[in-house]
Structure 1
Amino acid sequence: MAIYHYIHALLTTYYLFSQAEGLLCLCDADGCPASRTCETDGACITNIYSAGKNKGFFHSCKDKYLLQPPERPITCQSSLNKEHENFVACCYTDLCNVKLNPTLAPPPKEQQPVKVDSGKTELGTIELIALTAGPVVLVCLIFIAIFALYHRHQLRRRMMFPVHAVEPGNMDTPLLPDGQISTLKDMYDYSGSGSGLPLLVQRTIARQIQLIEILGKGRYGEVWMGKWKGECVAVKIFSSREERSWFREAELYQTVMLRHENILGFIAADNKDNGTWTQLWLVTDYHEFGSLFDYLNRTVVTSQSLVKMSHSISSGLAHLHMEIMGTQGKPAIAHRDLKSKNILVKINGTCCIADLGLAVRHDSATDSVDIAPNNRVGTKRYMPPEVLDESINMNHFESFKRADVYSLGLVFWEMTRRCSMGGIYEDYQQPYYNMVPPDPNLEEMRKVVCVDKRRPDVPNRWQSIEPLRTMARIMKECWFQNAAARLTALRIKKTLSNLHSLDDVKISTERPENVEC
C-alpha cells in the first residue's frame, strides 16, 4: 500500500503541473457568480459536510498557487479525525466536480483491544519492504516539498498563508513563549525589518482578535473594528470573490522597509476556514476618525490642519514611490487608487495612506512593472487623462507615479475647499461634482478630462492668502495634461515642509461616539 501511495503522489504531482489554465468547474458556494461556474488554473472541488442530522454539498474551485504542496495539496485533503463531519475531493478536468459524489465516513467507534495471534506467520518480503521504505519515501517527499516552497518564496518574495480552521477557545493563546509582545507598540518594535511579522505570529494574533462592530462595506467585503489584548484594530474581511486582492494587498504590506507613519500600519493577514466558506482577514491599525472623505464631510479644517494633513499625505506617497537600495531594500511602489476614501485621519492631525490592493511594484533590476493580477480598476473620478484615454505606458513605472500625483491634486482640492479662512469655506464636494453625475462612467469622465480638458474650479479667494495660494499652485501643477510636467511626490513634500508648522495640531472635532479605544 505504501508503494501505491508513493506512485499515486508522483502521478498527481505530474498531473497538477501539466494542467493548462482555464479549467471550468461547477461553483455553488458563497460568492460564486450567477452562472454557477468558475474558472481556475488549479482544481475543481466538491465538499460534503455534516450539519446536524443533515448533509450538505458545495462545489468551488481553487487556483493553482493555493494547491500546496503540489504533489499532495492540503486543500484537497480531509482530516482523518473529521471524515465523518467534513470531506473534500478534488479533480482536474472541466466540470469534473459535477460527477464527484463523496460520502462521509461513519462516526468512529471505540477501539477494541487488539488480540495478538502468536500463531500467525511472519510478514512476507514485499510487506516488509513496503513498511520499511514507505515512511522513508514519505519523509523525502515532505523535505523536497518544503525546500521547493522555501526556494520559491525566496526568489519571488511571496507570502504564503496556509488555510487553517477557526478554533474556538484560543483567545488566550500566548503570542510568543516568552511573552515579549503584549502591545501593538511592542509588536512594531519586534518587527525590525520594516515589513510584517512572522506568519506564525500573524496567525496567532488573528486568532486572538474579537470582532466588535462593523465599520463599513465595500466591493471587496467588510471592515470591522476588533480588539486585541484591549487595543482596537481594524479588520478588513474580503469576500471569497476578492481572494486575489486580499493576497496582493497582504503581500505588498510584507514589503521590507515599507513601514512608515503615513502608511497604514499592517499587523497581520490570515486565511480562516470555518468549514463552509473561507474568511480572508487583513488586520491593520485602527483610526477612529475614519477616512478623509468622512472627516471632511463633517469637519471644517484650519489652515494649520490643512498644511499638516497635506504634508503627511505627500510624505506617505513619497515614501511609497521611493526605491531604497540595498540587500534588504524596498522597491518603488505606485498606489493606483489614491482618493480621500483610501486615506485615513489619525488622532494627531496627520493622515496615512491605505488600501494597497491595486498597487504596482517596480523591479529596477529588470526595469519591469509587477501589476496586480486582478480585474479591479481604479476610481473613475480620480483617473488621470492618460488612463481615461488608455494612452498610459503600462511598461513604464514613472507613468504610474505621475498618475498618483494627479489623484493627489484632486485630494488636495477636496481638503482646501473645507479650509476656513476668516470664517469662509465651501461645502464638501467630490472632484468634478458639477461636471459629471454622482456615479460617472468612463465615457463621461473621458469627455470632461481628456476632450474638454477641464479641471475642478479654483475659487478666487484661494489666490489671495497663504496657505491656500500655495495649495492652489500645487494642485494645478499636479493636473497637467502632460504627465511628464507634473510635480513629483517628493517635490510636493518639500514645498509643503516650508509651510508646515512645528506646533502639534490636534483634530478640531469631538471623538466619534461609542468608541472605546
Structure 2
Amino acid sequence: MFLFRSVIMDSLHWRKLLHLLILFVFLRSNIVNGLKCYCNSDSPSCPNSTCETDGYCYASTALDNGEMKHTYHCIELKALIPIEHPFSCSTTRTRNESVVIQCCNSRDMCNRDLRLELHTKPPDKETSSETAAAWQFLPWVMGLMLLSACAAISFWWAHRYPKTIKRESRSLFAPEDSLCETRHPMMTATIRDMIELTTSGSGSGLPLLVQRSIARQIQLVDIIGKGRFGEVWRGRWRGENVAVKIFSSREECSWFREAEIYQTVMLRHENILGFIAADNKDNGTWTQLWLITDYHENGSLFDFLTAKTIDANTLIKMALSIATGLAHLHMDIVGTKGKPAIAHRDLKSKNILVKLNLTCVIGDLGLAVRHNVASDSVDVPSTNRVGTKRYMAPEVLDESMDSRQFDPYKRSDVYSLGLVLWEMARRCGTACDDYQPPYYDCVPPDPALDDMRRAVCIERRRPVLPNRWHSDPVLSAISKVMKECWYQNPAARLTALRIKKTLANIATTDNYKL
C-alpha cells in the first residue's frame, strides 16, 4: 500500500513538472518569436502571409485610383515614434477620405480581422435633390450676409472715425480687405506661424498630428543632394520651400535617431537647423522615411566655400554662428522642461548649412549623443555608423576615448570645429587659397582609418597655416583659436562656449559689423 501511494505521488510530481516544462517552452517560444501578424505583401519579410515583430500588427485602408486598397504588415518597436502614441499608427484627427490606419498587439494575427472603411458615403438619392435645391440658394444667403456685415462695419467705422471715412472707404471693399476675412488663421499660417501657434513653449517641436499633416501636403520639386543615408529634396508646402531628407529603409535607425534628437526639449535655436516634421510614408511597396527641415538655398558650408570666397567680416560671422550653435548643443538647461547636453559626433562643413544672411546652422544630428545627468551616462544611438574619418579626433581614431563619459564627446566636437575654421580661413581674403579639405596634403581623397591614424595620431600632423595669415589680424587671431581646438590632449582644448566668447571678442575688438 505504501509502495502504491509513493508511485502515485511520484507520478503527480512528474505530471506537474511536465506541465511546468510545457508552459516554459510555450512562454519562451512567444518571447523569442514575438507577436505574429498577418501580412499581404510579396516581400521576403512576409513568408506565408505571416510576419513577426516586437511591436504592433498593422492594418490600413487607402484610396488608390478610386479603389480601396487594404494593407497588412508588422511594425517594429523601434519604428514607433513616440512609443506612447506612434504617428505611424495614427489616422488624422478627422479620419480623412484617403487613408485609415489601425494597430493592435492583443494577440497573434489580431490585424487579420481589421477591415477598415473610408468615410466616403455618397448622398442618399431621396435627399440629393433637396440638397441641390438648398445649395442653389446658399450663394444668395452668403452674399446677403457678407454685404450686411461689411455695411455694418462701414457704418460703425464712419461714426467712429468720421475724418478718415473717405480714405478708408476706398479700400473697404477691395479684394485684399481683411475686415471681412473669414478664413481660419491656420489655413494661411506659415510654418513659423504654426510653430508659434501650436507649440507649448517647450521647444520640442510641432505636435505629431500637425507634423503628419504638413508631411502629407508637401510636393517634392527637385533633388539637391545625396548621401549614404539616402537623398535630400527641395519640397514645397503652401508656397514655402522646405528640405526633405528621405532615408533608405536600411537607414531606419538613423532616421529614428535624428527625429528623436531634433524633438529634444529646448533644442530649437537660430544656429541649429530648424526641424519641421518627421513621417514614414508607405506607398504599398516600401516605406519612405521623411525628415523635413528648413530649406537654405545657399546649401552646405562645403558647397559655399567651394564656389565662393569670403571676407574677414563674413569669416567672423560664420565662425561665431557655428560656435554659438555648438555651444547651445553642448549646454544643458536645468529645469522641469530642461534640455540635456548633446554632442554632435559628425561635425564637418557638409553638415553645416549657410543661411541667406551668411550665418550658419548645424544640421545632421543622426549620430548625436545625449548626456543623462541623473545616471551620469551617455545615450548612444544604436546605429553602427561612425563619424567622418577625416574629421575624427585623435582619441577617436586610436580608440583611447572613454565612451562611457560625456565630456570626451564634446572635446571631439571641438577638434572637428577647429578643422572647419581652417577650411573657412583658407577661403578668406583677396589672395585666398583654393578650397581643400583638411589633411588634403597627407592622406588620400577617401582616406581609410589607418591613413588618418598614421597622420593624426602617430605623426601628429595638423593642417598647415599659410604665412599670409600671420600678417592679417583676423586670420591670425582665428588661427590661434583653431590651434587650441586640435590639441592632441583632449583636456587642453577649448570649450565651445569659450570659443564663442573668444570669437565675439575678436569681432568687438576689430569693430566688425556682424
> TM-score scaled to structure 1, two decimals?
0.68
Pick from 420, 443, 447: which aligns with 2:450?
Answer: 443
Aligned to 1:151: none
Superposed CA deviations along residues 139-195 of structure 1, whole A, max 9, x for unmatched, are xxxxxxxxxxxxxxxxxxxxxxxxxxxxxxxxxxxxx97627611221232322222
Aligned equivalents of 2:351, 2:278: Cα separation in 1: 19
- 1:289 paired with 2:298, answer yes
Structure 1 pair 335–16 and aligned structure 2 pair: CA distance change class (3 A): farther
Structure 1 pair 297–22 and aligned structure 2 pair: CA distance change class (3 A): farther
Aligned equivalents of 2:309, 2:452: Cα separation in 1: 28
Aligned equivalents of 2:44, 2:306: Cα separation in 1: 33
Secondary structure of residue in 2 paired with 1:467? helix
Highest relative contact order (Cα 8 Å, sep 6+), 1 or 2? 1
Aligned equivalents of 1:378, 1:15: Cα separation in 2: 41
Equivalent residues in 2 for 1:192-271, closer than 5 Å: 192-271=201-280
Q: CA deviation at 1:66?
A: 4.0
The one-letter amino acid paired with 1:445 is M
- 1:461 paired with 2:474, answer no
Q: How many residues align?
A: 412
- 1:272 paired with 2:281, answer yes
Pick from 31, 35, 38: which aligns with 1:19?
Answer: 31
2:88–2:280 CA contact under 8 A, matched in 1: no
Secondary structure of residue in 1 paired with 2:296? coil
2:87–2:209 CA contact under 8 A, matched in 1: no
Aligned equivalents of 2:278, 2:236: Cα separation in 1: 15
Aligned to 1:488: 495
- 1:189 paired with 2:202, answer no
Aligned to 2:345: 336
Structure 1 pair 89–411 and aligned structure 2 pair: CA distance change class (3 A): closer
Secondary structure of residue in 2 paired with 1:390? coil
For structure 2, which runs of at least 5 residues remain unmatched after alignment?
1-22, 46-50, 91-98, 118-182
Structure 1 pair 451–228 and aligned structure 2 pair: CA distance change class (3 A): same
2:79–2:256 CA contact under 8 A, matched in 1: no
- 1:346 paired with 2:359, answer no
Structure 1 pair 50–393 and aligned structure 2 pair: CA distance change class (3 A): same
Aligned to 1:64: 77
The one-letter amino acid paired with 1:304 is N
Aligned equivalents of 1:435, 1:297: Cα separation in 2: 20
Q: CA deviation at 1:328?
A: 0.5
The one-letter amino acid paired with 2:313 is Q
Aligned to 1:471: 478
Secondary structure of residue in 1 paired with 2:473? coil
Aligned equivalents of 1:16, 1:409: Cα separation in 2: 53
Equivalent residues in 2 for 1:17-96, closer than 5 Å: 19-20=31-32, 62-66=75-79
Superposed CA deviations along residues 39-82 of structure 1, whole A, max 9, x for unmatched, are 975689999x9999xxx9x9997533447999xx99899xxxxx
- 1:317 paired with 2:326, answer yes
1:41–1:63 CA contact under 8 A, matched in 2: yes
Aligned to 2:133: none
Q: CA deviation at 1:349?
A: 1.4
Structure 1 pair 463–237 and aligned structure 2 pair: CA distance change class (3 A): same
Q: CA deviation at 1:207?
A: 1.3
Aligned to 1:403: 412
2:56–2:103 CA contact under 8 A, matched in 1: no
The one-letter amino acid paired with 1:378 is G
The one-letter amino acid paired with 1:185 is R
> TM-score scaled to structure 2, two decimals?
0.69
The one-letter amino acid paired with 1:225 is R
Q: CA deviation at 1:466?
A: 1.3
Aligned equivalents of 1:482, 1:439: Cα separation in 2: 26
Secondary structure of residue in 2 paired with 1:454? coil
2:59–2:114 CA contact under 8 A, matched in 1: no
1:31–1:240 CA contact under 8 A, matched in 2: no
Secondary structure of residue in 2 paired with 1:348? coil
- 1:432 paired with 2:439, answer yes
Structure 1 pair 455–228 and aligned structure 2 pair: CA distance change class (3 A): same
Q: CA deviation at 1:20?
A: 3.9
Structure 1 pair 61–431 and aligned structure 2 pair: CA distance change class (3 A): farther
Q: CA deviation at 1:481?
A: 0.6
Q: Identity of paired residues, percent?
A: 61
Structure 1 pair 416–200 and aligned structure 2 pair: CA distance change class (3 A): same
Aligned equivalents of 1:207, 1:62: Cα separation in 2: 20
Aligned equivalents of 1:458, 1:280: Cα separation in 2: 42
Structure 1 pair 103–364 and aligned structure 2 pair: CA distance change class (3 A): closer
Structure 1 pair 45–271 and aligned structure 2 pair: CA distance change class (3 A): closer
Aligned to 1:391: 400
The one-letter amino acid paired with 1:377 is V
User: Who wins on radius of gyration, i.e. which is larger?
Assistant: 2
Structure 1 pair 487–204 and aligned structure 2 pair: CA distance change class (3 A): same
Secondary structure of residue in 2 paired with 1:276? coil
Aligned to 1:164: none
The one-letter amino acid paired with 2:189 is S
1:29–1:60 CA contact under 8 A, matched in 2: no
Aligned equivalents of 1:455, 1:387: Cα separation in 2: 16
2:313–2:513 CA contact under 8 A, matched in 1: no
Pick from 302, 305, 315: which aligns with 2:311?
Answer: 302
Aligned equivalents of 2:357, 2:246: Cα separation in 1: 27
Aligned equivalents of 1:182, 1:51: Cα separation in 2: 30
2:87–2:212 CA contact under 8 A, matched in 1: no
Aligned equivalents of 1:407, 1:468: Cα separation in 2: 18
Superposed CA deviations along residues 247-267 of structure 1, whole A, max 9, x for unmatched, are 111111111111110000111
CA RMSD of aligned residues (A): 4.6
Aligned equivalents of 1:182, 1:75: Cα separation in 2: 25
Structure 1 pair 69–444 and aligned structure 2 pair: CA distance change class (3 A): closer
Aligned equivalents of 1:291, 1:500: Cα separation in 2: 24
Aligned equivalents of 1:315, 1:69: Cα separation in 2: 29
Secondary structure of residue in 1 paired with 2:365? coil
Equivalent residues in 2 for 1:347-426, closer than 5 Å: 347-420=356-429, 423-426=430-433
Aligned equivalents of 2:224, 2:44: Cα separation in 1: 21
1:388–1:442 CA contact under 8 A, matched in 2: yes
Structure 1 pair 276–472 and aligned structure 2 pair: CA distance change class (3 A): same
Aligned equivalents of 2:34, 2:444: Cα separation in 1: 38
Secondary structure of residue in 2 paired with 1:463? helix
Structure 1 pair 343–391 and aligned structure 2 pair: CA distance change class (3 A): same
1:264–1:353 CA contact under 8 A, matched in 2: yes
2:203–2:268 CA contact under 8 A, matched in 1: yes
Aligned equivalents of 1:498, 1:31: Cα separation in 2: 60
* Higher alpha-carbon deviation: 198-207 or 15-24: 15-24
Q: CA deviation at 1:354?
A: 0.2
Answer 1 or 2: which has greater helix percent. Answer: 2
